[in-house]
Structures are given as C-alpha cells and as structure tokens.
Amino acid sequence: MTKQRLRFFEKASSQQHIPDDHKYLYKSPEPNHRLAIIGTGTIGQEHMYVCSLLGRGRVYGIYDQQLHSMDVAKQNFQSYSDQPLVLYSDIESLCNDVNVDAVMICTPNFTHFSILKQVMSSGKPIFIEKPMATNLENSATLVELASDYSSFVQIGLQYRYKAQYIEAFHELHSRQSIGDIKTISMSEYRPPFLDKVDQWNKFSEYSGGTLVEKCCHYFDLINLMANSLATRVYASGGQAVNFLDLKHQGRSANIDDHAFVIIDFANGVRANFTLNMFCHDFTEELVVTGERGRLTTKETFNFHQNKPSEATIGIEKGEWGASRESHVAYSQEIEQSGHHGATYYEHIAFMDQLDGIASDPATPLQGLWSIIVASAAQHSLQTGQVVDVRQFMVDNNLAHYLG
C-alpha cells in the first residue's frame, strides 16, 4: 500500500530534529529505478525535479549536447537532491550504462525520432516527450517500432493528468453524468512560446508547427473524450502578432500564433478547438455537451500577479438532475512541480509500468492519433480546405490505422 506523505510536516523546521531511522510519516520511499534523462532544458529539468519529488525512482544521469544546459541542470538538481549525478558525454554511453533502468527523452521536437531509434538499441523502457515526432511518417514508424520493441514506450501527453481532466473523464465516461456526448469545445489563451536554445520552437521545420507542437495535447484530450476516430478537420489561423520581427541565423520565424479548428468524428461527435498565443496570462476551458446536460472546466494561471493556478469543474443538468460546481486541485507542492501537477501523475504511470502495475499511460498509437488530427489541421490551415481524414491518411500511407 502506498503511504500518505505529510510533506508540510516533513519539511517543517520544528521536525528536522528527527533522525532518518526514526522516521515513518516523513520517510521517503526507497527509489526502485534509476533514470537517465536526455535533454536538460525546461521540460527535462521538470522531469528531474518531479522524479525526485515522487521518490519511486532517482535521476541517475543526464546528457545534453549543450554543456551549459547540463551545468545548469546539475546545479539546480543539487539544490533539492543530495544524490550523485552522472554527466554522460554522449547518448551511446548513457544507453550502454548497465546502471540505468529507463531513459527519458526530453530534447527538441525535431530530434525525438532519431534519438528514440538510438535509445531503442538499449532495450530499456523509454519515455519520450510530446510530440513524439514532427511529421506523420516518423510518427507512424515510431508506432511500428514500439509495437516490436522488447520493452515499452510512453508518450509525454501529460495534460490528460491535469486535475480537471481526470475529473472530467470520470464524469463523462464512468458516471456518464451528461449522457451521450454530442459536442466538445476546448480553448487555450496564453502568452507566446518561451525562449529555447537556438529558438527552435519558432520554426515549423523544427517544431512540427504550432498545431503539432502545442495542440497535440488538446487533440489527445478531445480524441479521448470523443472516444472515436476523426473523419473531417477544418482549420483557420496564422501568424498575426508573435515573432513577426524575430530572425535567427538569417531566417524569419514562421510559427502560427492563433487557430480555430473544427473536428468531426465517426460516431457523430463534433468538436472545436481555439488557440490564441498572444494573451497576457493563461486560460484553458472545456465545454462538453451531452443529451442530458453540460460539463465545463476552467483553469486560470495569472503569473503576472504571482497567483497559483485555479481550476474548476461544473456539471449543469437543468431538469435532468442536480447541478454543481467545484474547485479541483492537487496538493500545493505537487501542483507547483510542473504543469499544475500533471507531470507528477504522469511519472506515477511511468513508475507503475516499470513495476508491472496496470496503468493508463499515453501510448504511441494515441500519440500518433493526436498528431494525425494536428497534421490534418495544419494542412487545412495552409490550404484553406476541409481535410477528409480517411483520404489524408491514404495519401500519407496510414490507411491501415483506420481499422
């Protein structure tokens, strides 16, 4: 049985006199797995911290081709962990280290596929950040490689672990609180993409495009809620405000900063997604309407006023039954560990898989379908035409995934 952690008291100054061998409520779990992390930028360092916070595994070593990134990651790691840290000189030595139990790939999008193929030579369990590749061909090949792999591959689509969406899935699928789902509407309003090394996320060639890079999270959520395959996609959007004057190595940034996407599903569900990336703060909303009511969620994060994120979920039933609205949250330390706690619970799914415990991780096939919808939307945005998903998949040699 997993023991409850009383983290507030564990860190309280008045409790620091207790020797380690006298601890029970404050005793950290013994890490069972040693992880190596490739890529020590923002998300790589988030995974390092979350791994230490959860305690079921430990960060054994790291690698990044940017030595400065590795140095900063090591310095930050030492601020919350007294564990030694191996700094690898290349990916091959990391993969060949018998002390490493699993590998996490947290590098820029355009490197995911090539690094995954390298790491697969190790036979070790793999976690790879979203999007698992920047194009459909590599994404489909990854699914095929994973299906024949001696271990498992988990995709980093952690938004499905946000508190409001965990509760939403429970209401929609377990309790069926609003009956059969008919429409799904999601939106994200947020500031621009943050700075990255070499500004790779400002160029579609390296990121896969905004609807692949950022919105695969939301298309994964919509796919899960619709519980069906997309049949038609239409998108409108472009680059209106962000990075219009940004040039890097003689090239102008070409990343979209807003979009409207409409998706039809085979079971009759219709969905839409709105993205705006030139807002001052973060707001994320979901509205799902069924035959017997409506579910809503909202998350706000006002970082300009240094306020923590707040999330709510509501069920509106009208004459069909009781309506309610409530705040949802994880414990504060978990919420502050990254992506409002979603990364922490994503790590639990990864550790469960390592321990042979039934889990619900994002699979390569689910990752592929998030990119299929995103790529269809990106194509529609560029051509101005509705994309027939079946024909789009035939054209991209993916018809066998239609079932």
The pLDDT, as a whole number, for residue 403 is: 74
Strands 247-248 and 251-252: antiparallel
Please, where are the H alpha helices in 22-170?
42-54, 67-78, 91-96, 112-120, 136-147, 163-169
Question: What's the whole-number mean pLDDT along residues 347-352?
Answer: 98
**Residue 146 predicted with pLDDT over 80:** yes
- The answer to whether residue 55 scores a pLDDT higher than 90 is yes
Please compute the mean of the pLDDT values over residues 281-297 and round it to a whole number: 97
For residue 224, which of 293, 170, 289 has the smallest C-alpha distance? 170
Domains with residue ranges and CATH for the chain: 7-159 (3.40.50.720), 160-338+362-401 (3.30.360.10)
Q: State which H helix or E strand residue 225 sits in.
A: helix 216-226
- Phi and psi at 259, nearest 5°, equal -165, 150
Mean per-residue pLDDT, 125-141: 97
- Give me the residue label for tokens 């219009």: 244
Contact 345, 105 (CB under 8 A): no
Q: What angle do CA 215, 220, 225 make, to 5 degrees?
A: 125
Model confidence, pTM: 0.95
Q: What is the mean pLDDT of the chain?
A: 96
State pLDDT tens for residues 246-265: 999 999 999 999 999 999 99
Inter-residue contact 162 to 339 (CB < 8 Å): yes
Q: What is the pLDDT of residue 1?
A: 47
Burial pattern 348-362, b for ≥16 Cβ within 10 A else e, equals bbbbebbeeeeeebb
What is the spatial distance between Cα 307 and Cα 214, in angstroms, rounded to a whole number? 23
What does the pLDDT read at residue 304? Answer: 87
**Is the pLDDT at 2 greater than 70, yes or no?**
no
Give residue 237's pLDDT.
Answer: 98
Residue 287 has pLDDT above 60, yes or no: yes
User: What's the rounded mean pLDDT across residues 36-59?
Assistant: 97
Q: How many residues does the chain have?
A: 403
Q: What is the mean pLDDT of residues 330-346?
A: 95
